[in-house]
Amino acid sequence: DVVLTQTPVAQPVTLGDQASISCRSSQSLVHSNGNTYLEWYLQKPGQSPQLLIYKVSNRFSGVPDRFIGSGSGSDFTLKISRVEPEDLGVYYCFQATHDPYTFGAGTKLELK
């Protein structure tokens, strides 16, 4: 199975700061059709995950432009500029290129 390694495990931030989360895959996430199915989710306590970014860098409907996904191959990053209170929670990267689909272990974005 594809292993997604997220760093850091926890990211303490001050509101208004920028935050950056890394997701590295044990193998390339480029599908045979040329697409890269790497997504980012935010899960707030007691809630379902919510899709933020799909196919590496595409913001899902309604997601603010302070969320920026980038990367290629097996190395990906989510940047959040100007962190706001509603951005706090656990971020997961997820790959849907290889069967079985897999998630990273999560990165907790929390206040300093």
Task: State yes or no: residue 100 binds other proteins (CB under 8 A).
Answer: yes
- Select 41 or 74, whichever has its Cβ closest to other proteins: 41
Among 30, 51, 63, 88, binds other proteins (CB under 8 A): 51
Identify residues 54-73 at the interface with other proteins (CB under 8 A).
54, 60
Give the DSSP letter string of 64-99: -TTEEEEEETTEEEEEESS--GGG-EEEEEEE-SSS
Structure tokens at 21: 């989360």
Both tokens of residue 29? 């996430």
The residue (of 76 and 92) whose beta carbon lies closer to other proteins is: 92
**3 state SS of 46:** coil
- Total binding residues toward other proteins, as defined by CB under 8 A: 20
Per CB under 8 A, 87 contacts other proteins: no
Of 16, 48, 65, 86, which lies in the binding site for other proteins, with binding defined by CB under 8 A? Answer: 48
The DSSP code for 100 is S
Contacts of 64 by beta carbon, 8 Å cutoff, 6+ apart: none
CB of 29 closer than 8 Å to CB of 37 = yes
Q: Does 105 engage in binding with other proteins (CB under 8 A)?
A: yes
* Residues contributing to the site for other proteins (CB under 8 A): 37, 39, 41, 48-51, 54, 60, 92, 94, 96, 99-106
